[in-house]
Amino acid sequence: MIKPLGSDKLNPLYVMDDAKRAALVKEAEGLPSILVSSAAAANAVMLGGGYFNPFTGYMNVADAVSVAKDMRTTSGQFWPTPILNVVPDASAIKGAKRIALKDPNVAGNPVIAIQDVEAIEEFTDAQMAEMTKAVYGTDDPEHVGVAAFNGVGKTCISGPIQVLNYSYFDKEFPGTFRTAYQLREEMGKLGWEKVVAFQTRNPMHLAHEELCRMAYNDEKMDGILIHMLLGKLKKGDIPADVRDACIRKMVEVYFEPNTVLVTGYGFDMLYAGPREAVLHACFRQNCGCTLLIVGRDHAGVGDYYGPFDAQTIFDGISKNDLQIDIYRADHTAYSKKLDRVVMMNRVTDHTKEDFVLLSGTKVREMLGKGIKPPKEFSRPEVAEILINYYQSIQ
């Protein structure tokens, strides 16, 4: 398996020793505490699981600005997006050197991590604007990621953390949530050395399924990691439990046994397009994957990014910085001529009428009316789960 980013060995920040963790939970009761944002809690989960290797905690202002601008910390470590604990007001922890971070996403706000405070700094308006434009490619406040990034405050609390739990992810998704080190263990037991990762925040239709199969066969992979985001999404996106059920049914019925791992990770979607595609590549390398499928408008939202911007960004990234390879996917659709799903740029003799093409809006309308999309678009077993979901919310 491929080495982690920035180190020879993965460095998960979750405190695995039960006695040490219990002692830290006890210590946290007497520490100054602060309620963090959902984004900061998700960052703690990702740091805890080794996904954000080699980092040991939250970035300071200088590193965050440097990463946003150049995809590199002030010390030279490659990374595409700031890893931050930003709050509106840090007066409750003024002068504290060690603090408890409270989880906003779990009832009772239990402590998710303990942080050693290296600095408490304020981002200037200019720095926030610079980071926003660099990471999201836009400063439009209507962009859901831009709004979230600028809505948590400007006070930056930096320093290393010790992670005490995985928030709600391991409890709500016990069969699906996996850390980076757990994935390395599971793939190692399966004997997988070459693994292709498929990132998703949506259920998988037939074209997605076939895209995984194409990458698996084209690049002679040992296995496929279907790796879904389990955290917060924008309004209208399908909930994680429904998506999980759809994907598991698809894999159960249509893939060979022991060729696919269906798993998820605890993070909130950024909708940052190209930069988020690079982030996806970074933490899939930390999982041990050797290949990441990057499709059209990967991690995008609205019309903020070009269809292939999330692929071309990798043209400027050195193999010294990022070892994982990218499988560049064009739009996939069912060919009536060939009676199978194809990558549209590979069949130059086709016209638009030769493909089965349905818009997302049209598919949602059909599902809401209890109508299964054509078999060339969606597996019937998956469509049935989605019909039940859409009819339950009407």
Residue 201 annotated among the catalytic residues of the structure: yes
What is the pLDDT confidence band of residue 394, given thresholds at 50, 70 and 90?
confident
Q: How many residues does the chain have?
A: 394
CATH class of 18-170: alpha beta
Active-site choice (202, 213, 248, 364)? 202
- Delimit the domains of the chain by residue range: 18-170, 174-392
User: Tell me: the pLDDT tens digits for 258-275?
Assistant: 999 999 999 999 999 999
Residue 184 annotated among the catalytic residues of the structure: no
Could you give the dihedral angle defined by the CA atoms of residues 259, 261, 262 and 264, in that order, rounded to the nearest 10 degrees?
Answer: -150
Lowest mean pLDDT among 110-114, 214-218, 364-368: 364-368
Superfamily of domain 174-392: HUPs (3.40.50.620)
CA distance 153 to 85: 10
- Cβ(215)–Cβ(196) below 8 Å: yes
What is the DSSP code string of 36-84? PPHHHHHHHHHHHTTTTTT--EE--HHHHHHHHHHSB-TT--B-SS---
**Mean pLDDT, rounded, of the chain:** 95
Q: What is the pTM for the complete model shown?
A: 0.94
Active-site choice (201, 213, 248, 364)? 201
**CA-based end-to-end distance of the chain:** 46
Q: Report the relative pairing of strands 86-87 and 195-200 from DSSP bridges.
A: unpaired
pLDDT of residue 116: 98
Interval 354-363 mean pLDDT: 82
CA distance 56 to 113: 12
